[in-house]
A = this chain, B = another copy of it.
Amino acid sequence: MRKAFHDELAQLCSQLAEMCALAVSAMQRANQALLDSDLSLAEQVIADHEHIAAYNRRIEESAFRLLVLQQPVAGELRTVVGSMHIAADIDRMGALAVHVADISRLRHPECALPDEVRASFTDMGAQAVRLAQTAQEVLVSRDPDAAARLRDEDDAVDAEHRHLFTLLLDRQWEDGVCSAVDVALLGRYYERFADHAVEIGKRVIFEATGGRPLHKKLA
């Protein structure tokens, strides 16, 4: 019974890492689609979200089954409960990548990004993808120190996000209202995507240490 339990728990953790890999890929492609106004890539991201949503359902069902059949305690209980929270975070990351893809699709064949913010989105995209990759690694290693570093990586996204608003608001923006609205919403999507990766790190720390989970910053 315990052996079966540990196998199921290990499988739950692998599923989370696989699900996170899908979110990495979704953001990578959404960002590329945005930079290149690549309609078919954007549509792929949108269509593929179903795989992420399916993982979310499966993980929630597996976690429930483990709670009912195995009644885990202590660290194992934290892992099972945490897996549901983490799956919800990854699901949101996927949804935010879809939002990025949606804006590229809506503006196609135009590019949603004016030239002056291309560099910002190139950087924010790379940073967001890196955060999701770190989250994925942390879901495998369960290393609380690596998980804690997600917060530092997020600072770079926040800095770029603030810089974006400086461009939008503090100087003469010449690309019109529609473009400003797109850029503001896109910035918000990248920032929230990164926040969810940080949340995953906090959950892993909580599971590893049993410490109270640090609660969300107000983002």
The quantity of this chain's copies bound in the complex is: 2
Cα–Cα distance between A68 and B185 once the two chains are bound (Å):
42
CB distance from A173 to the nearest CB of B (A): 5
Q: For residue A46, which residue of chain B has the nearest CB?
A: B218
Number of interface residues of A (CB under 8 A): 40
Residues of B within 8 A of A88 (CB): 85, 88
Give the distance in Å from the alpha carbon of A64 to the alpha carbon of B215 in the complex: 16
A59 to chain B, nearest CB (A): 12
Assuming A60-B213, A88-B85, is B218 touching A49 (CB within 8 A)? yes
Among listed A10-18, A134-142, A152-160, A174-182, interface-contacting one: A174-182
How near does chain B come to A196, taking the closest CB pair, in angstroms?
Answer: 12
Interface hits, A69-120 → B, CB 8 Å = 71, 73-74, 77-78, 81, 84-85, 88, 91-92, 95, 98-99
Whether the pair A77, B67 counts as a contact (CB closer than 8 A) is: yes
Choice from B57, B173, B178 contacting A215 with Cβ under 8 Å: B57
The answer, yes or no, to whether A169 is at the interface (CB within 8 Å) is yes
**Nearest CB on B from A140, distance (A):** 24
Asked if residues A219 and B95 are in contact (CB atoms below 8 Å), the reply is: yes
A25 to B6, CA, bound (A): 45
A212 beta carbon closer than 8 Å to chain B:
yes
**In the bound complex, how far is the Cα of B213 from the Cα of A49, in angstroms?**
18
Judging by beta carbons under 8 Å apart, are B180 and A215 in contact?
no
Bound together, the chains give a CA A72 to CA B77 distance in angstroms of 13
Question: Given A71-B71, A77-B67, A218 and B98 touching (CB < 8 A)?
Answer: yes
